[in-house]
């Protein structure tokens, strides 16, 4: 089955830049989406269609995709950005099934 | 404003079935598909399936195919997810989440999420 692979954890100091990668064979043909999930809460969409930011999401969140890797960048990370982040996409088999990445814990301290 | 309100927590015995509801408001229900996602304790998000709320077409994750059924009642603006043959590994929070884009024929992604429903499977 299709897999999206993320690093388990990323640590940054406040004000620094955090980069989270997501690797998947279908990403050259499929959009990547990014979700932020804080402890005990439902996920929140922070990036859609590789690089678009929903209204209300701070400008420090940005996304890019090249080849088989998508990247979420948090420029000038804040303490409140500490959360789990998941990439999401669909497989390229023609079945269009959704897949979440393995998840990355971002620590800001 | 868009709201997705899910049914309350459930406790089930192994082998039983559970049906979780998701009532939508604040938008035209039949214009947006609905996804179902689950998260076991301490684990990652898992995509379970999707229903086109307009025509009722569904797509399911291979992992849950045969055990999960997603339906909708357009008159009640409500989507349902039923999971059968429950086992302890199905203990998780189950979320409904609205499709990001209106009038799609295949799953894309999610924007608005319900509050989650905890399903506990225990003998």
Rounded Cα distance between B12 and A58, Å, is: 41
The CA-based diameter of chain B, rounded to the nearest angstrom, is 42
Rg (CA), chain B: 14
* Contact indicator for B44, A103 with CB cutoff of 8 Å: yes
Please give the span between the terminal C-alpha atoms of chain B, in angstroms, as a whole number.
Answer: 40
A99 close contact with B: CB closer than 8 A: yes
Provide the shortest C-alpha distance from residue A36 to chain B (in Å).
11
User: With contacts defined as CB-CB under 8 Å, which chain A residues touch B99?
Assistant: none
CA dist., res. A70 & res. A25, Å (int): 11
Q: Please list, in sequence order, all residues whose beta carbon lies within 8 angstroms of the beta carbon of residue A92, skipping any fewer than 6 positions away.
A: A2, A25, A26, A29, A30
| Phi and psi angles of residue A80, each rounded to the nearest 5 degrees, phi first | -70, -5
B contact residues 7-46, partner A, Cβ 8 Å cutoff? 35, 37, 44-46
* Per-residue exposure over B57-95, b if at least 16 CB sit within 10 Å of its own CB, e if not: eebbbeebeebbbbebeeeebbbbbebeebeeebbbbbb
Closest CA to B38 of B10, B14, B78: B10
pLDDT at A95: 79
Tens digit of each residue's pLDDT (9 = 90 or more) over A92-102: 777 789 999 99
Measure CB to CB from residue A45 to each of B60, B95, B110 and give the nearest one: B110
Nearest-Cα distance to chain B for A16, in Å, is 26
Across the range A65-87, mean pLDDT stands at 97
Q: How confident is the model at residue A75 (pLDDT cuts 50, 70, 90)?
A: very high
**Looking at residue B105, what is its pLDDT?**
80
- What average pLDDT does the segment A25-32 reach? 94
Please determine, for residue A41, whether its predicted confidence score (pLDDT) is greater than 80.
yes
The answer on pLDDT for A67 being more than 90 is yes
Identify the CA nearest to A102 among candidates A8, A2, A1. Answer: A8
Out of B46, B95, B106, closest to residue A42 by CB: B95
Angle formed at CA A27 by CA B49 and CA A84, multiple of 5 degrees: 65
Q: Do A31 and B44 touch (CB under 8 A)?
A: no
Return the closest-CA partner of residue B35 out of B85, B83, B79, B84.
Answer: B79
**pLDDT for residue B113:** 98
| CA distance readout (Å), B74 to A59, B55, B69 | 37, 10, 16
Which residues does chain A have within 8 Å of residue B63's beta carbon, measured at their own beta carbons? 1
Q: What is the pLDDT of residue B87?
A: 97
Residues of chain B with pLDDT under 70: none
């Amino acid at each position: 089955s299709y897999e999206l692979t993320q690093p388990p954890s990323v640590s940054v100091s406040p004000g620094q830049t955090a980069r989270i990668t997501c690797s998947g064979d279908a990403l050259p043909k499929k959009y990547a989406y990014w979700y932020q999930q804080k402890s005990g809460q439902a996920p929140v969409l922070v990036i859609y269609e590789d690089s678009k930011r929903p209204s209300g999401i701070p400008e420090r969140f940005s996304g890019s995709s090249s080849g088989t890797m998508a990247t979420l960048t948090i420029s000038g990370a804040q303490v409140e950005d500490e959360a789990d982040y998941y990439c999401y996409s669909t497989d390229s088999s023609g079945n269009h099934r959704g897949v979440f990445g393995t998840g990355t814990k971002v620590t800001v301290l | 404003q868009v709201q997705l309100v899910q049914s309350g927590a459930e406790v089930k015995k192994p082998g039983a079935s559970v049906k979780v509801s998701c009532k939508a408001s604040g938008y035209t229900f039949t214009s947006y598909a609905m996804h179902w996602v689950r998260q076991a304790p301490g684990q990652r998000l898992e995509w379970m399936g999707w229903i086109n709320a307009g025509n009722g077409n569904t797509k399911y994750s291979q992992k849950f195919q045969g055990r999960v059924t997603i339906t909708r009642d357009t008159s009640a603006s409500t989507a349902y997810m039923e999971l059968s043959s429950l086992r302890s590994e199905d203990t998780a929070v189950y979320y409904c989440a609205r499709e990001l884009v209106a009038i799609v024929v295949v799953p894309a992604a999610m924007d608005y999420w319900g509050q989650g429903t905890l399903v506990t499977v225990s003998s």
